[in-house]
Amino acid sequence: MRLALALALALALALALALSIPAVFGLCAGAPAAAKSLSKPLKIVAFGDSLTAGYLLPADAAFPAVLEKALRKAGYDVTIVNAGVSGDTAEDGLARLDWALADGADGVILELGANDMLRGLDPARTRQTLDTILAKLAARHIKVLIAGIRATPSLGTDYAQAFDAIYPTLAAKYKAPLYPFFLQGVAGDRNLELDDGLHPNRAGVERIVAGLLPQAETFVRSTAVQ
């Protein structure tokens, strides 16, 4: 009788330990992925034009919201602030930079220049303005991920070469990570664009985020340790 009771108690204890170990280590079925080891929650400002703002899209389908969702799904405690304004040129962005960063930021994703290109503005002027923005951010010790824009072929080879060189040149100068073309995989694909042929639709934004996400994760990790 005593032997049977002892065996029963031993089995009960073994079962209890087996059930408790996964819970203790967060391995139980259905447990959410553990948050990545960031030193603090991060605030990243997505600073750009209509491509960032989410032209004609609901707020939750705009680039900053979709990127934030993807980063959080990957386990990063990050907030992406939508500081995109439709129609902004680089100079418009410079004019509102201090206001946009009034509440502070750990990092900035800089996406400007598309409207400069569409208006045929002098690439040297756009480069100088973006240079000034980057210098201001550097002075505030705010890290930047640069999202580049490429000129449409209709503007000619000379213009395209001068404009497209803006982003790698500035990325090298400020030692900033560069995502070469914000609309990579989207531009020219009518299934991923709005009817205007310029802006991404919902699926287009998802494609943009999928392409940029690996670099965004690296940027977030580097920003967390600055």
Task: Tell me, yes or no, whether 8 and 46 share the same domain.
Answer: no
Q: Which of 50, 88, 106, 164 is catalytic?
A: 50
CB neighbours of residue 166 within 10 Å: 26
Residue 71 token pair: 């980063």
pTM, entire model: 0.84
Shared-domain flag, residues 21 and 129: no
Q: Is 20 labeled as catalytic in the residue annotation?
A: no
At 24 the pLDDT is: 35
Active site (annotated) includes residue 141: no
Structurally, how many domains does the chain consist of?
2
Report pLDDT for 96.
98
Q: Structural domain of residue 9, as residue ranges?
A: 1-32
How high is the pLDDT of residue 81? 98
Whether 21 and 49 share a structural domain? no
Walking along the chain (226 residues) 10 residues at a time, the average pLDDT comes out as: 40 40 36 57 97 98 98 97 98 98 97 98 98 98 98 97 98 98 98 97 98 98 86
Domain match, 110 and 1 both: no
Which residue is catalytic, options 88, 116, 164, 199?
199
Give yes or no: residues 81 and 165 share one domain.
yes
Pair (14, 56) in one structural domain:
no
Q: Which one of 103, 158, 195, 196 is the catalytic residue? A: 196
pLDDT at 35: 55
The CATH code of the domain that includes 160 is 3.40.50.1110
On whether both 157 and 195 belong to a single domain, the answer is yes
